[in-house]
């Protein structure tokens, strides 16, 4: 770290330090963009939210390691597996369902090996944009009702609709205003801060649970078990997020102007996604997937540096222990 903060002549360079501090704040902002969906998956499926945070951070770091830190993408809980996890837990229990999800990550790895063997042309013929686009749209549009319910105060603790709308619209307005007018500022973090201040003013916040909780604690990791029935049930579902992965890589390539399908190659991005998913499910977290909402935030903030996602991953790991 000391070397990073010094110039070639051994003197402290405050400009470089400020740049890294900004990357850290941008990373925290990316985590907050992903946070709602990231923790919603475990809340809906009965998994542990802190474990999901931890495995999202670890999964993103593994993805960056495998792709040599070239792609500005954050990995976290996949919405495509919500219904299968709920059914699997009711039918076979949580440990066996998590064991089946480990093999969903292994399927990603096998797909990456096929691409490495046959080349990317095969994938482009099988999954052209006319296929990947609608899959991403369907998965993304599933989130729209959740966002509307949250904005109207119909998700979580009961809240009058006018109060919820006031808070959500202030957050949205500040985010849009800062993104358009605030050069060099962090629009999403500003929107979150404005929403929190508005919630305090309207008296709908409560810090009681926070004050009673320990400051630091390790996430409640759990180990999987393996059985054939949940495995055969889960594996076909893996095809949808696998298709989504190709679309997300095309999308981030379009945003940044770099062809990530060629370098580091979709064979490596798919491998990274698979290893991240396997690691997550081995620890009791939901399967990982590339987050389109974070790609949207990259478009908004123009934060094309993949190091920002490293900071987001580290923030997720640290937050999982709070």
> How many whole angstroms separate alpha carbon 280 and alpha carbon 62?
11
Q: What is the mean pLDDT of residues 90-116?
A: 93
What percentage of the chain has pLDDT greater than the value 70? 90
Confidence grade of residue 6 (pLDDT, cut at 50, 70, 90) = very low
b/e for 158-187, b at 16 or more Cβ within 10 A? Answer: ebeeeebebbbebbeebbeebbeeeeeebb
User: For 183-222, what is each residue's pLDDT tens digit?
Assistant: 656 677 788 889 999 999 998 888 888 888 888 889 999 9
Q: What is the mean pLDDT of the chain?
A: 85
Confidence grade of residue 102 (pLDDT, cut at 50, 70, 90) = very high
Residue 164, both tokens? 């919820």
| Of 118 and 53, more confident | 53
| Of 178 and 167, more confident | 167
Within its chain, how far is the Cα of 263 from the centroid?
22
Indicate if the pLDDT at residue 18 is higher than 80: no
DSSP state string for 59-103: HHHHHHHHTTT-----EEE-GGGHHHHHHHHHHH-HHHHHHHHHH
User: For 117-169, what is each residue's pLDDT tens digit?
Assistant: 887 777 777 777 777 777 767 766 776 787 788 888 887 677 888 999 999 99
Q: What is the mean pLDDT of residues 279-292?
A: 92
Q: What integer pLDDT is reported at residue 143 of this predicted model?
A: 67
């Amino acid at each position: 770290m000391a070397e990073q903060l010094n110039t070639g002549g051994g003197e402290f360079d405050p400009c470089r330090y400020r740049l890294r501090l900004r990357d850290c704040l941008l990373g925290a902002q990316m985590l907050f963009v992903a946070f709602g969906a990231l923790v919603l998956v475990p809340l809906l499926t009965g998994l542990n939210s802190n474990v999901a945070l931890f495995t999202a951070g670890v999964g993103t770091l593994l993805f960056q390691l495998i792709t040599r830190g070239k792609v500005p993408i954050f990995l976290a809980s996949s919405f495509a597996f919500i219904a299968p996890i709920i059914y699997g837990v009711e039918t076979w229990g949580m440990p066996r369902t998590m064991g089946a999800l480990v093999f969903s990550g292994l399927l990603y790895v096998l797909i990456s090996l096929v691409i490495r063997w046959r080349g990317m042309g095969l994938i482009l013929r099988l999954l052209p944009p006319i296929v990947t686009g609608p899959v991403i749209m369907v998965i993304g549009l599933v989130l729209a009702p959740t966002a509307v319910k949250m904005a109207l105060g119909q998700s979580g603790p009961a809240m009058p609709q006018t109060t919820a709308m006031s808070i959500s619209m202030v957050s949205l307005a500040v985010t849009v205003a800062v993104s358009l007018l605030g050069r060099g500022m962090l629009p999403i973090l500003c929107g979150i801060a404005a929403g929190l201040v508005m919630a305090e003013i309207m008296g709908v916040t409560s810090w009681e649970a926070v004050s009673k909780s320990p400051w630091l604690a390790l996430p409640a990791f759990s180990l999987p078990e393996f059985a054939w029935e949940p495995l055969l049930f889960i594996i076909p579902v893996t095809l949808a997020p696998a298709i989504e992965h190709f679309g997300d890589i095309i999308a981030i390539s379009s945003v940044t102007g770099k062809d990530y399908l060629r370098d580091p190659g979709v064979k490596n991005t798919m491998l990274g996604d698979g290893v991240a998913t396997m690691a997550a499910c081995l620890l009791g977290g939901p399967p990982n997937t590339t987050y389109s909402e974070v790609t949207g935030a990259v478009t908004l903030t123009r934060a094309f540096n993949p190091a920002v996602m490293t900071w987001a991953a580290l923030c997720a790991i640290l937050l999982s222990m709070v």
